Structure 1
Amino acid sequence: MVGALARLVTEEHGVPFYTFFISSWMFLSLFLHLPAIDDDAGGVEHRDGTEPVRLPGCVPIHTHDLPGSMLADRSSDRYAGFLAMARDGANADGILVNTFRELEPAVGDVANGVMMPPVHAVGPLAWTRPVSIDRDHGCLSWLDQQPRGSVVYVSFGSGGTLTWQQTAELALGLELSHHRLIWAIKRPDQDTSSGAFFGTTHHGEDDDEIEFLPEGFIKRTRC
C-alpha cells in the first residue's frame, strides 16, 4: 500500500490520510480481513489450512492462491510485517484501489458495508508510454500488419511467472490454437509465482535465450 508509512506525517499536519492499493478489490478485502483471519487460525499455519478463505462478495480463496506473505511461517518477520500493515490499513481515512466496479461488482457491492475505512475504486490505472517511444520495435511493426482483432496477447504482469511445466502446457495450447500471438514471456520459476520481481529475466528473440520453450515452438508459431 503506497503511503502507509506517511500516516504519522499526515496526523502531525492535520490532513486526511489516504492510501493507494495497486492490486484488486478482492485482494484488498483479503488484506483488510487478515487480522480477523489470523485470530481465527489459532496455531495452524495458513498454508496448512484445508478450507478456503471465504469473504463477502468474493469467490473462495484456496490455500495455493494466497499471497506468499500469508504462506510464510506466522512466527516469521515477513508475516509479522504483512500483518502489521493490514492492521494499520484500517487507520486510513480512505483507500484508493486500482480497479473499477464493473470488473468486481460483487466485491464492490459489499465493500462499503464491510470494509472500514471507505474504499474508492479509481481504476483502471496503467502506465503508458508516449506513442513516439519504441515505435520501430519489430513486434509493433509486425502487429500493425495483422488484421484487427486477430492477435492473442499473453502476459502475466510485471512479476507473474509460471513453472516449467505450466510454460510448456501454455505453449502447447497457444500452438494448437493456430492464432497469431504475442507472448510477453519470462523464464520459468519453480519456487514462486512472482519470481520475475526478484529473479533474472531474459529478453530477446534468439532461440538460445528462450530454450525453455518446447523445441521448435518459435519456428512453428512465427508468422
Structure 2
Amino acid sequence: MPEGARRLLKMWAAMSMSTPRFGAISGVVLVYRESSMHPLPLQWKDLKAALNEHVDLASELFEKFSAELRSGFGPAVDNFVSFFHAIDWKEPWLICLLAFYFILLILTILSRKNVNFQLCLSLLAFSGVYLAERVNSFLGRNWKSFSSQNYYDPHGLFISVLWSGPLLIIMIIIVVNTLFSLCHLMVKWKKAQLRHDARLSRGKQE
C-alpha cells in the first residue's frame, strides 16, 4: 500500500476514535488496490445509519427551535390582540387620526421626487416622535374632553403604537426613497461622465 494511503487511513482512524459523531462512520473502510489509487467504500449500511442519525438530530433541533419560537411569540401575539380589542375604533378622534396617517402616506408617495418636501415631511415626523412623551402626558390629563376612556398610560404603550409607530414608518419610507434617489442620481452622473469622456476621446482623435 502506498505511503499516502497509509497516512490517510491513520488520520481517519484517529478522527473516528477522538470524535463521537464520526464513530458510526468509522465502519467505512477504504481498501486500496496495489495497482490503483481509487478507494473502494464498504459497509454502506453503517454510512446510511450515520446519515439518518444526523438527519434525525437536525429534525429534533428544528422542532425544538420552532417550539421555543412559538412559545416566545405566543404571549406577544396575545397581548397585541388584547390591545387591539381594548380600543374602541369607532371613536371620531381615532378615525381622524387614521385618516391623517393615510393622507400623510399618500403625500409621502406622491412627493417622492420632491426632495425638499420629503425633507419637511421627515422633520415633521421626527418632531412628532420626539414630542410623543409630552403629547402622552397632555392627552392623559385631558382625555375626558375627547375620548370615552383613558388610553394614555404612564408607560406610553398606546402613544407608541398609534402615534410614534406610524410616524416612524413614514420616516423609513422617506429614507428608503432618498437612498433610491441617490442611487439613481449617481447612475445618471456616471452616464454623463462616460458620455463626456467619449466626446473628449473623439475630439482628440479628430
| Both structures adopt the same fold (TM-score exceeding 0.5) | no
Higher relative contact order (CA closer than 8 Å, sequence separation 6+): 1
Q: Which has the larger share of strand?
A: 1
TM, length-normalised to structure 1: 0.17
Larger Rg: 2
